[in-house]
Structure 1
Amino acid sequence: MPDLSRRKTLALIGGGTVLAAGAGIGAFAATRTPHAALAPWDAAGAYADPRMRALSYALLAPNPHNRQPWEAELIGTDGITIWRDPARDLLVTDPFARQLTIGMGCFLELARMAADAEGLATETTLFPAGEAGPVARLRLVPGGTPDPLFAHVMERRSHKAAFELRPVTADAAAPLARHATLHLDGRLRDDLRQLAQDAWRTEMATPAALKESIDLLRIGRNEIEANPDGIDLGGPLMEGLARAGLLTRAAAMDPDNPGTRRQIEGEAAIIMGAPAMLTLVTPGNTRRDQIAAGRRWLRLNLAATGAGLAIRPVSQALQEYPEMAAHLARAHALAAPDGGTVQMLGLLGYAARTARTPRWPLETRMRDA
């Protein structure tokens, strides 16, 4: 979500060259896919209880740093209570849990869509005991109407690499226009790209913010399967670099490390090369506004997938810690000059589909499991 694909950003942070790690890749290359961490994608919909089926899709929703902050409890025969797990907070980059609440909105919207696909409507009560309690109580009742966007759930990804050079036309992006404001060309698009690049550099130069990402690195299959959340650096290349001592958390904390510097510059170039930008603005910044933003972000992602486009969140400029204050003010001056809260900033373009992201099994996110 706000994350500029730190999976790729920090991918070669250990310094040295890819070739130096080549000898360490060899025989184990074919065994490095973290199948257990990806199994929840294949388990989606494979439960007897329709509430569990809805939740099994919902946990595939985009969310900040892939923290998967949701917890659920089945109530009676048709109810679900949903919490946000504070143990998964991002205390530095998301001090007010705004972004994590947006992630909860994505989760709730995907649960609703999954229930609708089975002819079940979702009666939702947000914050039934106030903001300190559950995020929502859901009740599944007959009457849901299938949503065409649900067809794209299994193909949806948050993009993690550079975009193709071809521009995005208004006609091509038309299905997205109802969910966010599109900036396909012109001065405002260019200003937003520059803002995103500047904010990216600021985050990389802020030790506490950088460390929050590094602490969530999962390097290689074993780490990913032990903790299938956070920022996964998987595959034989990453494991080869780690084996060779070229991919280390210590090196990642050094912005002057040659490998780290190359990646910072590479990601900055990707931002400036994005064909289009998008912004998502809400009238206010209440918890309900944030949930609404998450619902829209999820639908935007699915609409983009259906249109053959890719989205990459770059919301560093919207984070509410002191070092980011000037960028946050600039974001609102550019994208919400007449008022409101800019909740999401993203890149838009054409790109090959990214691999699936690891997920915790649904049973681990159930309070009554």
Structure 2
Amino acid sequence: MNKQRRDFIKVIGLTTGIILAPSLANASKENYFQDNYCDSNILNKSWEGHNKGEQDIRIKVLSYGILAANPHNTQAWLIDLKEDQSIDLYVDKTRVLPQTDPFYRQIHIAQGTFLENLSISASYFGYKAQIDYFPNGEYSNETLEEKAIANIKLIKDNSIKKDKLFDFILLRHTNKRKYQNLKIDEKRIAILKNELSKVLDNDSSLKITSDKKKIQKLSEIVIEAMRIENQDKQRDLETIKMFRFNDSEVNQYRDGFGFAQNGKSGITKFLLENFFVSREDAQKNPHTFANEGLKITKDQALSTNTYAWLSTKGNSRLEQVKIGRVYAKLNLITTSLGLAIHPMSQVLQEYKDMNKQQAEFLKETNTKENHTVQMFFRIGNAEKTEHTARRDIKDFYKVV
């Protein structure tokens, strides 16, 4: 190992100060949405200013839709603005992840997160989002066809009330930091479960555990799953392709993720970006780069005291999209509760190398036969990280 690599390892291991997330010891069903209201309201006004003068309500709500969580921040959404003033949503086939998401399951979950953000933001502007799933027919969960995921019609409704979760769309982010080893108070967990019970149907479920023995076992599974993923060069290169190595790349591509999303800031981030890590080096030595990711995963897993997962009875495209909407809502609720959230998806990925580890995971989570864990994630307390970038709204338009 050369000196530059040794120095890189020392720097990547540096930690930044972590502050305690806001305590909600006095939270209740009536007041928990208001805890961060002032900060989010300021941000909302700033975002509205971005679209000041925009007359098309579709563009306004789409501007919030593209802020949704999605794998590797690929932003695999294509938008067709129909002549009848409706919207068709498609998967952008140029932005999928064939190595780590070979059946496009995660990409379809992201279509659901997009739709939920859009629906919530529509209520803010006094519209109801009428969503018709797969208007041209649903397709197999092993294929990706040139069919719309959904048709959305925005219907003006003066009686509609703003969804309170709208205030947290601009604050929501995936937090990959090392979490504080603090148990989440039961009141916040109860609120989360209660709110999710309102949107989960008979075909889906949410499970949360803070049991120490189970957490230890799940953490071992998570770490091993990342190790398995890193054994394949093409999978490593797929991740490197979406990694943004400096601010210049962030501004150029406006997608992907980088050091900031892993909690690196200030002098640490500056040194990493300018002296120790480059795209050229990572592509030459993808396994070495991936091994650093494994070390980060170990820190993430071993600092986690709560895991949760969302499951569906089957694994149809419609179930994937709908559970994506549930995850988007869950992510906004956790944000409102001052909690950090981070998907640990490697063990759910459907390539052969992961089969044995996935079977162990399904056994540990008591997942019923033929049921599918769609999202597995950790919840905890952590200092906020920078939001990932987004492309211009016009970049999402479908070219016919």
TM-score (norm 1): 0.83
Unaligned segments of structure 1, at least 5 residues: 1-12, 22-39
- Residue 87 (structure 2) pairs with residue 57 (structure 1): no
| Structure 2 equivalent of residue 200 of structure 1 | 226
Residue 78 of structure 1 and its aligned partner are, at CA, apart by 3.0
Deviation at 1:57, TM superposition (A): 0.2
Summarize the alignment of residues 138-157 of structure 1 with structure 2, pairs less than 5 Å apart.
138-143=152-157, 144-157=160-173
The aligned counterpart of 2:186 is 170
The answer to whether the 8 Å contact 2:231/2:287 transfers is: no
CA distance, structure 1, for counterparts of residue 232 and residue 284 of structure 2? 10
Verify the 8 A CA contact 1:67 1:88 in the aligned structure 2. Answer: yes
Inter-partner Cα distance in structure 2 for 1:302 and 1:170: 18
Quote how far apart the aligned CAs of 1:42 are: 6.9
- For 2:186 and 2:362, how far apart are their aligned partners in 1? 24
Confirm or deny: 8 A CA contact 2:77 2:91 kept in the other structure.
yes
Q: How many residues align?
A: 338
- Contact preservation (8 Å) 2:255, 2:390: yes
Q: Which of 72, 95, 115 is residue 108 of structure 1 equivalent to?
A: 115
Give the Cα separation in 1 of the matches to 2:104 and 2:338.
31
RMSD, aligned α-carbons: 2.7
* Corresponding residue of 2:255: 229
Taking a change above 3 Å as real, the CA distance of residues 281 and 113 of structure 1, as seen in their structure-2 partners, is same
- With over 3 angstroms needed to count, the CA separation of the structure-2 counterparts of 1:88 and 1:263, relative to structure 1, is closer
Q: For 1:317-347, what per-residue CA distance to the aligned partner results, in whole angstroms no more than 9, with x for missing partners?
A: 0000111111222222222432411001111
- Work out whether residues 70 and 84 of structure 1, in 8 Å CA contact, stay in contact via their aligned partners in 2: yes
SS of the equivalent of 2:148 reads coil
Q: Which amino acid aligns with 1:366?
A: Y
1:15 CA displacement: 4.5
- Where does residue 301 of structure 2 map in the other structure? 271
Whether the 8 Å CA contact 2:348–2:373 is kept in 1: the answer is yes
| Higher RCO (Cα < 8 Å, 6 or more apart) | 1
Match of 1:313 in 2: 343
Q: CA deviation at 1:86?
A: 0.5
Could you tell me which residue of structure 2 aligns to residue 189 of structure 1? 215
Q: Distance in 1 between matches of 2:65 and 2:75?
A: 10
1:177 partner amino acid: K
Cα offset for 1:362? 0.6
Question: After the TM superposition, which of the residue ranges 348-357 and 70-79 deviates more from structure 2?
Answer: 70-79
| Deviation of the 1:245 alpha carbon | 5.2
Moved more, 245-254 or 102-111: 245-254
Structural mapping, 1:60-99, within 5 Å: 60-99=67-106
Q: Distance in 2 between matches of 1:248 and 1:87?
A: 21
In 2: Cα distance, 1:75 partner to 1:362 partner:
16
Other-structure match for 2:131: 124
Displacement of 1:232 in angstroms is 2.9
User: 1:160-197 CA distances to partner (integer Å, 9 max, x unpaired)?
Assistant: 21111211122122232253321122433332222112
Partner of 2:150: 136
Q: Choose 204-213 or 231-240, whichever is displaced more.
A: 231-240
The amino acid that maps onto 2:87 is I
Counterpart CA distance in 2 for 1:266 and 1:122 is: 40
Q: CA deviation at 1:153?
A: 0.8
State, as a whole percentage, how many aligned pairs show the same letter: 27
Deviation at 1:219, TM superposition (A): 1.6
Tell me which amino acid in the other structure corresponds to 2:374.
Q
Do the aligned residues in 1 keep the contact of 2:230 with 2:291 (CA within 8 Å)?
Answer: no
Secondary structure in structure 2 of the residue aligned to 1:304? helix
**Equivalent position to 2:375, from 344, 352, 360:** 344
User: Are the aligned partners of 1:123 and 1:139 in contact in 2 as well (CA < 8 Å)?
Assistant: yes
Report the secondary structure of 1:215's partner residue.
helix
Paired residue type of 2:189: A
